[in-house]
Structure 1
Amino acid sequence: MAEQEGAAQTADTTRVPTVIADDLHIVYRVYGTGAGKGSATAALNRIIRRKPSSGVREVHAVKGVSFTAYRGESIGLIGSNGSGKSTLLKAVAGLLPAERGKVYSHGQPSLLGVNAALMNDLTGEKNVILGGLAMGMSREQVHERYQSIVDFSGINEKGDFISLPMRTYSSGMGARLRFSIAAAKDHDVLMIDEALATGDRAFQKRSEARIRELRKEAGTVFLVSHNNKSIRDTCDRVLWLEKGELMMDGPTDEVIKAYEKETGK
């Protein structure tokens, strides 16, 4: 019995926390919501006159969410539209301040969304270089991984699109390139917002395989998706949010079954 207890204690020490959310609350404040007071001209006049807006609307997007993520986990976030999934990821990434509570992270979390900003007037090639540098890769690392990024994205399968400006890409091509750039780097914490919903099945399989590789390389992956199959194929744990509240946190199949039973999806 003592040996078993010692083994359990040893196993526990190998679980390294990467993200801790402690009673996290996120509140958006929308100014100038009074009737007829929301125009850009009205806002400029208030700034010049130093007169505060009379209409302020508060949106409590995340309400008291607490969880601990560990190295090697792949965690799915599910919930209906407007449930607070993307807001939670932005808060973990440090892009939104907490109204109350705290977020602690190991290293710098990286947030990848299908709307992640690349420069539309630059070619795909230059965006790969800039994107890699922005994530902290050296020029040598970007050069070494450049071709694998292009190949992974698949945007050159029907022509030399990598040499064309990003504005000529379809939304799916742009999303695939963004994911490919982010996935080329090893991350302590990688957060993906709907990236697997884009592209054909072949690209989705490559994306899922890459996420599994990132987990093996001692990272933690968060995935927001409305595709329950992608969550099942990729994640071993799921957080279910509704109206900003954490409804359930547990093994993937258990949480998704409860979610589907509740919502009929």
Structure 2
Amino acid sequence: MTDIDEVDFEIDQEDLDTTPLVEVASDRLSLLVNDLHVSYRVFGAKKVGHGPGRKRGVLGRLLSRGAKDPAVREVKAVRGITFAAHHGEAIGIIGVNGSGKSTLLRAIAGLIPLAGGTVHVAGNPALLGVNAVLMKDLTGERNIMIGALALGLTPAQVKARFQEIVDFAGIGSFVNLPMKSYSSGMGARLRFAISASAVPDILMIDEALATGDAGFRAKSKAKMDEIRQSAGTVFLVSHSLATVQNMCTRVLWVHEGKLVMDGDPKEVCGRYKQFVAQHKEFARAKK
């Protein structure tokens, strides 16, 4: 179920980096998604309009095991999405909550099974926040080492890039403290810095930039340009249309698991903005 009445967070225009996007022309494919389907099951769903579900004991649950449970519902999160991405592209993915944006990224990264279709990747995808898993009880220093090694860097490379990662994340002396003492913004910035340190072939960022200030967004944009110039591809999921238009060369609009529109950031974001406004007006009229 989508949340059409969500807040469409917009960054003030003066806070955005006005540096034009670096043009990286390439006809080399980095990713091909063909008729992609992703489904998952929701357990424990209650029947609407029939009161509370009847509680069953251990014996009852054992006897009913294997039978079709009406409380198990299949959700089709991604339904027949097809697109191709080229080296050097920065692709934004927009849509209301529950539209399948994050599920699409996880499927591309190979983290969840496909119900149908195929995903062909030329290189190694790095999904921000997954490949660089942070452990709250360990210090930032230890997390940088573990996360960077997981991305394929050698111990010597991690040591050489350590200070650069700390400076990029802007955590200063907090690098010596456990992650549980960090704010959510500090954690998000450190995940970005670790994920981008390996200059992956495909970097996927899911709602990480909204926690940063204008300076961090400017550094993030520069890092994305660096990855694209190194023949990489960047995906950015965000509710901030201003951020998407400022940082991306192309936008995919996903709704209810389907690809609605694929094209120029200004055009796609404009159409999506109209869609959200119309549905908010419709929802208010029904009240």
Q: TM-score band (shorter)?
A: 0.7 to 0.9
Match of 2:158 among 142, 151, 155: 142
Paired residues of 2:90 and 2:234 also in contact (CA < 8 A): yes
Q: Secondary structure at the match of 2:88?
A: coil
Mapped partners of 1:144, 1:45: distance in 2: 60
Mapped partners of 1:78, 1:246: distance in 2: 10
Superposition deviation, residue 213 in structure 1 = 1.1
Superposition deviation, residue 225 in structure 1 = 0.4
Q: Note the 1:50-65 alignment, pairs <5 A.
A: 51-52=65-66, 54=69, 55-65=71-81
1:87 aligns with 2:103: yes
In structure 1, the residue matched to 2:32 is 20
In structure 2, the residue matched to 1:119 is 135
Q: Secondary structure at the match of 1:118?
A: coil
In structure 2, the residue matched to 1:30 is 42
Superposition deviation, residue 14 in structure 1 = 4.9
Match of 2:261 among 238, 248, 258: 248
Match of 1:220 among 233, 239, 262: 233
Q: Note the 1:1-265 alignment, pairs <5 A.
A: 14-34=26-46, 36=53, 46=61, 51-52=65-66, 54=69, 55-113=71-129, 117-156=133-172, 160-264=173-277
**Residues 219-257 of structure 1 deviation map (CA, whole Å, 9 limit, x = unaligned):** 000000011111111100000011111000011111111
Mapped partners of 2:146, 2:54: distance in 1: 40
In structure 1, the residue matched to 2:12 is none
The one-letter amino acid of 2:262's match is: D
Q: How high is the TM-score relative to the length of structure 1?
A: 0.87
The one-letter amino acid of 1:82's match is: G
Q: Secondary structure at the match of 2:138?
A: coil
Unaligned runs of 5+ in 1: 1-12
Superposition deviation, residue 32 in structure 1 = 3.6
Distance 1:20 1:84, change over 3 A: same
Q: Secondary structure at the match of 1:113?
A: coil
Q: Secondary structure at the match of 2:246?
A: helix
**Residues 158-187 of structure 1 deviation map (CA, whole Å, 9 limit, x = unaligned):** xx2110000000111111111110111111
**Residues 24-51 of structure 1 deviation map (CA, whole Å, 9 limit, x = unaligned):** 1111112343565899x96x984x6682
**Residues 131-161 of structure 1 deviation map (CA, whole Å, 9 limit, x = unaligned):** 00011110011001000000000011xxx21
Mapped partners of 2:154, 2:164: distance in 1: 16
Q: Secondary structure at the match of 1:102?
A: strand
Higher relative contact order (CA 8 A, sep 6+): 2
Q: How high is the TM-score relative to the length of structure 2?
A: 0.80
Paired residues of 2:131 and 2:195 also in contact (CA < 8 A): no
User: Cα RMSD between the aligned structures?
Assistant: 2.4
How many residues are aligned here? Answer: 247
Using the aligned pairs only, state the percent identity: 51
Paired residues of 2:133 and 2:147 also in contact (CA < 8 A): no
Unaligned runs of 5+ in 2: 1-24, 47-51, 279-287
The one-letter amino acid of 1:56's match is: V
Mapped partners of 1:77, 1:14: distance in 2: 20
Distance 1:161 1:104, change over 3 A: same
The one-letter amino acid of 2:167's match is: D
In structure 2, the residue matched to 1:6 is none
Mapped partners of 1:99, 1:107: distance in 2: 23
Superposition deviation, residue 212 in structure 1 = 1.1
Mapped partners of 1:217, 1:115: distance in 2: 20
